[in-house]
């Protein structure tokens, strides 16, 4: 399946300017005329899908401990903005459902990364996809992506018609083509700061879309676009947007 991606996808919203994976960050991305955002989903102890990246709470909240061992009612009490800046004090961790309502209102596409806590690869995908199937209608603007092959297999079983993307860290594994074929992917996502032209061309040759992650430098972005990447995921969409205006 082929998918048309925008040139820029806001990473965890626009997390260069607002706390990652929050409604405020997504609103910031929308204010920059970003068309899609990439967000992370994982489960609380009682299986509520929340938009959150880490396995633990310390880095981006005033809580502590493992997300997988924390009930949603306790997650609700946490504050997830002041670590970033005092002006974001009081920001909350959104549920997947709350975030999707915002995305629909803002007319944003979604690259949803299944980010399971260890041992919860299957159930995280199952719960997230179950929620999405009830609240997200535009499957031309939705990607289910993950580093976890188990999560992607689950997505393939539950929603075979939805676009799926494999995230690869570091060098391309020798068997990546077999993995991509087995998982019936549409997108391969690679680290935009370390990837090679050869890797990008090998993905394109297999007719998968290429998404380059974590790119904040305009010169690197210009190089990646010239090498044929379809989209760049970035913390600073406005910076990369200026690159596109000079390239195209």
Catalytically active residues, by annotation: 11, 53
Cα dihedral 67, 157, 153, 212 sign: negative
Torsion, CA 199, CA 201, CA 204, CA 205, rounded to 10: -110
SS3 sequence, the chain?
A: CCCCCCCEEEECCCCCCCCCCCHHHHHHHHHCCCCEEEEEEEECCCCCEEECCCCECCCCCCCCCEHHHCCHHHHCCCCCCCCCCHHHCCCCCCEHHHHHHHHHHHCCEEEEEECCCCCCHHHHHHHHHHHHHHHCCCHHHEEEEECCHHHHHHHHHHCCCCEEEEEECCCCCCCHHHHHHHCCCCEEEEECCCCCHHHHHHHHHCCCEEEEECCCCHHHHHHHHHHCCCEEEECCHHHHHHHHHHHC
Question: If you compute the radius of gyration of the chain from its CA atoms, what whole number of angstroms results?
Answer: 17
């Amino acid at each position: 399946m082929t998918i048309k991606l925008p040139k820029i996808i806001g990473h965890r919203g626009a997390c260069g300017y607002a706390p990652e994976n929050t409604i405020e960050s997504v609103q910031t991305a929308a204010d920059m005329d970003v068309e899609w955002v990439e967000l992370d989903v994982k489960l609380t102890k009682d299986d509520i899908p929340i938009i959150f990246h880490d396995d633990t709470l310390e880095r981006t909240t005033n809580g502590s401990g493992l997300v997988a061992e924390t009930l949603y009612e306790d997650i609700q009490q946490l504050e997830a903005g002041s670590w970033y800046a005092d002006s974001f004090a009081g920001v909350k961790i959104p549920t997947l459902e709350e975030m999707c309502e915002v995305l629909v209102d803002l007319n944003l596409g979604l690259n949803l990364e299944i980010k399971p806590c260890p041992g919860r690869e299957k159930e995280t995908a199952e719960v997230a996809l179950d929620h999405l199937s009830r609240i997200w209608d535009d499957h031309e603007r939705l990607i289910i992506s993950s580093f976890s092959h188990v999560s992607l297999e689950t997505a393939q079983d539950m929603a075979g018609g939805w676009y799926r993307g494999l995230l690869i860290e570091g060098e391309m594994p020798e068997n990546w083509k077999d993995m991509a074929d087995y998982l019936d992917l549409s997108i391969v996502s690679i680290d935009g700061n370390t990837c090679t032209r050869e890797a990008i061309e090998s993905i394109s040759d297999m007719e998968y879309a290429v998404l380059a992650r974590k790119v904040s430098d305009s010169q690197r972005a210009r190089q990646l676009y010239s090498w044929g990447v379809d989209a760049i995921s970035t913390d600073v969409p406005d910076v990369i947007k200026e690159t596109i205006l000079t390239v195209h």
